[in-house]
Amino acid sequence: MAAPTTFSLDSLVQVVVYVSPLAAPRATFNQLLIVGPSAHIAVGDRLQKYASVDDMVADGFLTTDPEYIAAALYFAQTPAPMYVWIGMIDAGESILEAIQACRAESSEWYAVMATGAVTADHKEIALWIETAEPTSIYGYTTADAAVLNGVAGNVMEYLKDAGFSRTIGQYSTQSLYAIAAILGYAMGANTGLANSAYTLKFKNEVGVLTDAISATDLATIEGNNGNLYLSYGNYYNIFEQGKMANGQFFDEIINLDMLKNNIQLNVMDLLYGNPKVPQTEAGINQIIHACNQACDIAQVIGFLGAGQWTGNAILNLNNGDFLPNGYLVQAAALSTQSDADRQLRKSPPIYIAVKEAGAIHSVLIGVYVNR
């Protein structure tokens, strides 16, 4: 007997499964690139990613190679970073050209240092890193006596006067690659976990000896926004102050870079993953929500914190208003949008006000004794 005829349920109940597109991977802000002259990377490769110095040795690096020495300092910090990139300088090219080639090969690394860089290289790289994409920072070490003595035009003074916000320098006579240590801490500590935001001040540089300098020398170097590794109270060895060449703190730069990246990708994922975001108040609220999510992350890690807004008025936010979450996202009303912008399908401007949690770098304590 023939089997009874059966029909597909699709004619009665049709179920269509929609799988949203994958979100774009977020940029990494916890990996260092060390550029050097050693030719141990495979022919045809510009750079290589390593999880340890042992992996570098397995690839042919010697413990006496400058890249190995710098990477050993980098991995020695607590918490330890996960990865380092080693980039090769090809014959006949400058250090800057090598870094640019490494950026063309990979956008994963965030910070960069060069083992053989001199003053001229620092100036050249610092200029380029200001506008490099994706955003990056450059770290260097110098033992130049001109820096210590405050000679006019020394590298730290030059970079300060140029206003470079993406270069951090350390004066050290104890290690050629001292900056690798503090960058190791910075990359290792940048986990994205709750309360993981940090300041570089007070941190230990494992493997680096402190410099013995006078109070005058200290004032000279830090007056040019240079950084040092010093001993306090015969017990505490600390890195200070954690400033970029222009005087901003390192943690502010890296956290703003992460916030910008998260905002940009959150909004792009929204536009990419939906049939459309309508040019209505509901659609603008979707964009605001995407921005809020990025700001939430910055608040959770401890970069943003509750506080009073002391800046200029922004739409409904006024000087003196309290931001309980450390941020406020607003949009101009659609009713204020010009016909030309609406026809071009533009969103009204989005305004994001953020309040940094900051960090305490010094304390004044008064002790009042009464008999």
Give which of 125, 127, 145, 129 is closest to 137, Cα–Cα: 129
Sheet with 137-142, side-by-side order of all strands: 47-50, 84-88, 32-36, 111-114, 137-142, 167-171
| Model confidence at 22: pLDDT above 80 | no
Distance between CA atoms of residues 65 and 63, nearest Å: 6
What's the pTM? 0.92
Is the pLDDT reported for residue 133 higher than 80? Answer: yes
Give dist(CA 114, CA 70) in Å, integer: 9
Mean pLDDT of the chain: 94
Give the model's pLDDT for residue 4.
Answer: 77
Q: What is the pLDDT of residue 1?
A: 63
The per-residue pLDDT for range 237-256, each reduced to its tens digit, is 999 999 999 999 999 999 99
100 sits in which H/E element: helix 95-105
Residue 26 has pLDDT above 70, yes or no: no
Q: What would the two tokens of residue 13 be?
A: 């109940």
C-alpha angle 329-256-102 in degrees, rounded to nearest 5: 135
